[in-house]
Amino acid sequence: MDISAEIKKLNDNEQLMSVFSHAMSVMHYDGATAAPKMSYIDRSKSLGLLSTYSYDILLNKENKENIKFLMDNRDLLTPSDKKRVELLQENIDKIEGIPLEEYAEYRALISESEAVWKDSKAKNDFKSFMPYIDKIIDIKKKFAAYFDPNKHPYDFYLNEYERGSDRDSFDNFFETIKARLVPLISEISDCPVPDTSFLQGNFPIDKQRRLSEILMEFLNIDTSRCVLGETEHPFTSHLSRNDCRVTTHYYEDNFTSSFYSVIHECGHALYDMGIKEEYYNSILGSGTSMGVHESQSRFYENIVGRSLPFCEYILPLLSNLFPQFDNITPNELYRAVNVAQPSLIRINADELTYSMHILIRYELEKMLFENEITAVDLPELWNNKYREYLGIDVPNDSVGVLQDTHWGGGMFGYFPSYSLGSAYSAQIFHFLNKDLNFAALVSSGDIRPVYEWLRDRIYIFGREKDPSEIIRICCNEEFNPTYYTDYLNNKFRSLYNI
């Protein structure tokens, strides 16, 4: 066989799979933003059929022979072709590794579990949801053993979301966070709370929409390739190289919710739109991991959007739209948007306390997979850990162990990537700030050089580079969580004068 001819076959197959992926992504986005309520009935059938066709392309005999030939000759391929062949072979192995009947039963269980979770959360009824967690854990362990019986199942799923990670790496990461941040959170709990009264009141939605346009312009979002929509829960959908959709939700009485969700989601969009053009329509045409993708949304949301230079830049623009900001100083705005206060709900947590929410979930997931506990133990342990790490009492399970959709959806191993993303962003920022005058660029409103620095070291590679390689490219050293804990200690000790 001729390698160049086989690469062309690979390109043609990936192009065809990307067509199905594009169509499914458009339908998902439409369903979340604009479609009528009952449209899900026909849409789900169409999505199921498109998904089947896409898998048939990947798993047909000719395509598998093509990928096997290229795998056998991968040392003769370019680095990018070698990587995508390896990733495609991994996908084939994962799909074929689970008996079809068992996978169908699992998907049916997840569908039921998600519905029961939603109802249980509304009724504060953990007992009804509890059996589903144990069933899901048992099946996840079984599936992990199909792929690698010698690998601990939780290590398998941690690596699924963050390539190269396992319990040891996350244990070290969270031990550093716990040692450095729990005492700081305790100290701050005794400090006076900064004034946030000017963030309350009425913020007309039409003016918030105008503010979103201002933010997207500041972030150098190419609006010929990216559009902002509205939905119940903000998300970003990367449909193709020239079609990225970000969404937000506006609340008239909560200005900061949409303000920061737009910045956060635009961080994801900048990553997606910065990938090398030739990687689109291939398996390399997305972010390298959940953690690295989250590092970019949190970089823009927190390191840029909650910085004093940004407050200096944005305050006059806020005053033009909302009278609440007329007599506010940049420092007052900076203190208000960085209030650190333990809270019950993860998605509402501030920059400092957020990782404590993730630490709690990680410790409980690990205990489940190590057979130390079962689902019946979760509420009590959850409540104890919230008291230990955040100093707050959980009044009921709806705002406690039932608050997240992840476990009902079988997404064990996902949570740690959120904190890892924050830590990546702090380390990346440390080295970016050595090359650029970050404060001057942000306060002037010209952050194009910041984007270009990140693009050239992270975005362009798509999935060609693993997370550890991306960190080395950005920082010329391995990942080190002390950059994150130092960043938070320096920032919040200065904010609270401690």
- CATH code of the domain in which 187 resides: 1.10.1370.30
Residue corresponding to tokens 């604009």: 34
> Does pLDDT of 486 surpass 90?
yes
225 φ/ψ angles, rounded to the nearest 5 degrees: -120, -10
User: Could you give the CA distance from residue 457 to residue 461 in angstroms, rounded to a whole number?
Assistant: 8
- Sheet containing 243-248: which strands, arranged edge to edge? 226-230, 243-248, 236-240
Surface-to-core class of residue 440, CB atoms within 10 Å of its CB (0-12 exposed, 13-18 middle, 19+ buried): exposed
CB atoms within 10 A of CB 459: 22
pLDDT digit string, tens, across residues 264-280: 999 999 999 999 999 99
Coil, strand, or helix at residue 64? helix
Classify residue 463: in a domain, yes or no: yes
- The residue whose two tokens read 């992990």 is 144
Q: Answer whether residue 175 is part of any domain.
A: yes
Q: Is 214 helix (H, G, I), strand (E, B) or coil?
A: helix
- Could you list the residue range(s) of the whole structural domain that residue 346 is in? 132-200+277-498
Same domain, 327 and 284: yes
Predicted pLDDT of residue 46: 87
Q: What's the rounded Cα separation, in Å, for the pair 18 and 278?
A: 13
Average pLDDT over residues 410-433: 98
- C-alpha to C-alpha distance for 401 and 422, rounded to whole angstroms: 23
Please state, rounded to an integer, the average pLDDT across all residues of the chain. Answer: 95
CA distance 398 to 124: 5
Instruction: Please check whether residues 82 and 137 belong to one and the same domain.
Output: no
- If asked whether residues 174 and 68 sit together in one domain, one would say no
Question: What is the per-residue pLDDT for 162?
Answer: 96
Task: Tell me how far apart the 2 most distant CA atoms of the chain are, in Å.
Answer: 73
* Residue 383: both structure tokens together: 């409540």
Residue 351 lies in a domain: yes
Percent of the chain clearing pLDDT 90 (strictly above)? 88
| E-strand stretches of 208-355 | 226-230, 236-240, 243-248
The number of domains in the chain is 2
Where does a domain end: 73, 97, 121? 97
Q: Which residue has the tokens 């990018």?
A: 80
Regarding whether 388 and 447 lie in a shared domain, the answer is yes
Q: Are 423 and 172 in contact (CB under 8 A)?
A: no
Backbone angles phi, psi at 238, to 5 degrees: -95, 95
The verdict on 363 and 425 lying in the same domain is yes
- Per-residue pLDDT at 49: 85
Q: What secondary structure does DSSP assign to 185-201, as a single string?
A: HHHHTTSPPPP-GGG-S
Distance (Å, rounded) from C-alpha 337 to C-alpha 492? Answer: 12
Give the domain-ending residue among 45, 74, 97: 97
Q: Which of 50, 73, 97 is the last residue of a domain?
A: 97
Judge whether residue 331 has pLDDT over 90.
yes
Residue 446 belongs to some domain of the structure: yes
Tell me, yes or no, whether 136 and 12 share the same domain. Answer: no
Dump pLDDT digits (tens) for 202-244: 999 999 999 999 999 999 999 999 999 998 889 999 998 899 9
186 shares a domain with 298: yes
**307/184 same-domain check:** yes
Active-site residue, 230 included: no
Given 160, 265, 312, 351, the catalytic residue? 265
- DSSP 3-state helix, strand, coil percentages of the chain (rounded to 5)? 70, 5, 30
Assess whether 482 and 394 both reside in one domain. Answer: yes
Phi-psi label, residue 220: left if phi above 0, alpha if psi -120 to 50, beta otherwise? left
What is the pLDDT, as a whole number, of residue 307?
99
Residue 55 has pLDDT above 90, yes or no: no
Of 327, 69, 361, which is closest to residue 198 (Cα–Cα)? 327
- Please tell me whether residues 361 and 297 are part of one structural domain: yes
Q: What is the pLDDT of residue 422?
A: 98
| Residue with the two structure tokens 């900064």 | 194
Same domain, 62 and 139: no
